[in-house]
A and B are shown apart, each in its own frame.
Chain A
């Protein structure tokens, strides 16, 4: 693996399998009463969030804490960012604290990549605009692999607002890399032109949904409805909502959350045993622990424990 995690595209299949394996070993730690390991003791992780986030932010925080890192979380509101500080200046200021990692969420594509050029820390992309959200894709793979046993050959349908979804993009790449066959489906106004070039198929109706092993529903963002992407949420739900009628008994259901009940998913499928939604959230912490570990501690070291055993060196 490289120094940063900016895009799923940077990860080979081998890298992904390695991270999933590492996450599996941390899942064991999560089962203990004391859920903490000393791996990143004395090292600093900075969470820099320019966008509101519940799941991603809290699970990155928990992941860092369970690895015993010192953690600082900075939200755009109330920080120097509010006073007009540029991204570059903010990152250079924070880098002066010599963090081992900066986890960044921004509303702008490529921002994590820019940050990587301005700091010596490892940069983890926690969502950059509509571009990518690689740790979401990894935790989805982890949750799905645990449930399905193997990812190879699975047929995955990603349904909904593909246009505005970084999750869709990262997951198409990640599922495809792991040998899944991916179809994206949604209203033509919400599928970007050129989507096929990511290596997926495109459908505009759910007619062939029955062929899927896994149905991955995307959040339908109400704020997008001000444009004329779909005539109404009612029409959208009528055509694209995953409900008990459309979801077959052998199909698995995933969703990145938060769910709009009654829009993209009907209540009966959210609470069904086929849904992996809670497992996805649970996977968030261990997968992010694994990513932090791989980037900061374990890389190429037998047993991967050197950083845990060695006192941190002053920079």
Chain B
């Protein structure tokens, strides 16, 4: 069995940066202070007062800024290969860096599907040339994501797959998922699941509830998710396997995961910023930027998700960044594809919607946004000296309108487009290199 998932990025020189007098916050490392932060040769070298500036260092004035460990997103669609007009590895990783992320995992529902080692290897090669931050690639559970035969999971794991998922689609057959869980003993790696019973979701395009009844639009009931989660947790428990439930959306799903965790099932799960912040009320105008799968659900569901994020029942935040072309989204709601972009707004949206109103503590948000790689065996970024430098500098007071200055992503189907958010990433250091610097953020002086 192979070791860790492979992460690839373009080779850039390691950064040496001294951030003066910045507010450092890394709850996991117990760091919560104002000090200088020195990154030397791509490593967190020192935290302290009035640090001496080494020769050739880039000096950054940290006044008014926070430094957090950079974020990890286990759920991103880079649309490569096949739909490079919507996103490619360069633009997607740039969008991630602009959102303060230092690592992302790309989903395999591309054209062709990432279901064989050659496709995976070619993506890794691509990423070595294009990726601004380390990118890992998930492989499909079943060939062509058709839900029938298993992919060569062991070979894919050897070729560096970050994990397995048929994301975009559920693994319909309990029998096939059971075999995947058995095979996981050989292949290792996490199996991540898009949970949806198609016989219940049917032709649905939004949450089934009052709003869908009023709009006359076919609904996707919450139980289409929660019943599959209950089924798959039972299978994982029986086989002793590990599963990661993607983009939890419903209160009933939270309850199913609570039950499973209590009985010792090895299950982790993620939630998206849009499910934490928006409800089906936002769909009332049939704005296709509010169409995604799973759908925005009711206020009760949203509150259950926030509570589960706080309690730790939900392990991490993932964006499910899903770029779509403008012509695809400029259609009647029922015809438009599902999915919204979210890398560039994830932190700011949660900060604005949950931290500023006092619903969730800032430190907790940092924790949940940095640990998205844990289910997949990836380390958690840290500000502790000696760690590889994965840092984002954030101005928590910056007020901005989403999309006003465009996007780093090739697509503009952002669920928060046009909204004003507070909190802006100014600079991201990923895997020891400067991956992003906001255009208006002045370059530091080089001593």
Q: Which residues of A contact B (CB under 8 A)?
A: 86-88, 106, 108-111, 113-114, 128-132, 165-166, 169, 192-195, 197-198
Contact = CB atoms under 8 A, between A and B. Distances in A.
A198 B212 CA distance: 11
Given A108-B333, A130-B217, 9 more contacts: A86-B327, A86-B330, A113-B285, A128-B332, A129-B216, A194-B208, A194-B213, A195-B213, A198-B213
A108 B208 contact: no
Given A109-B286, A113-B285, A114-B332, A130 B208 contact: no
A88 B213 contact: no
Given A130-B216, A198-B213, A193 B208 contact: yes
Contacts of A86: 327, 330-331
B281 to A, nearest CB: 12
A221 to B, nearest CB: 14
Task: Determine chain A's interface SS by DSSP, over half rule.
Answer: mixed
Contacts of B353: none
A88 B213 CA distance: 27
B152 interface: no
B211 interface: yes
Contacts of B210: 194, 197
A193 B333 contact: no
A193 B222 CA distance: 12
Contacts of A109: 215-217, 286, 332-334
Contacts of B334: 108-110, 129
Interface string B110-145: 000000000000000000000000000000000000
Nearest to B216: A130
Interface in B181-214: 208-214
A166 B218 CA distance: 12
B331 A131 contact: no
B219 interface: yes
11 contacts: A88-B330, A108-B334, A109-B286, A110-B332, A111-B332, A129-B217, A129-B334, A165-B216, A166-B216, A195-B213, A198-B214
B174 interface: no
Interface residues of B, number: 22
Contacts of A128: 332
B443 interface: no
Contacts of A88: 330-331
Contacts of B327: 86
Given A109-B286, A130-B217, A192-B219, A87 B212 contact: no
Interface string B322-341: 00000100111111000000
Nearest to B206: A109
A276 B285 CA distance: 34
Contacts of A130: 216-218
Given A113-B285, A194-B211, A132 B216 contact: yes
Contacts of B216: 109, 129-132, 165-166, 169, 192
B288 to A, nearest CB: 9
Nearest to B207: A194
B330 A131 contact: no
A197 B213 contact: yes
Nearest to A9: B214
Contacts of B221: 193
A106 B214 contact: no
Contacts of A111: 332
A254 to B, nearest CB: 20
Contacts of A110: 215, 285-286, 332-334
B398 to A, nearest CB: 31
> Which 10 residue pairs are nearest across A and B when measured between Cβ atoms?
A110-B286, A108-B332, A194-B213, A197-B210, A130-B216, A194-B210, A111-B332, A192-B213, A131-B216, A110-B333
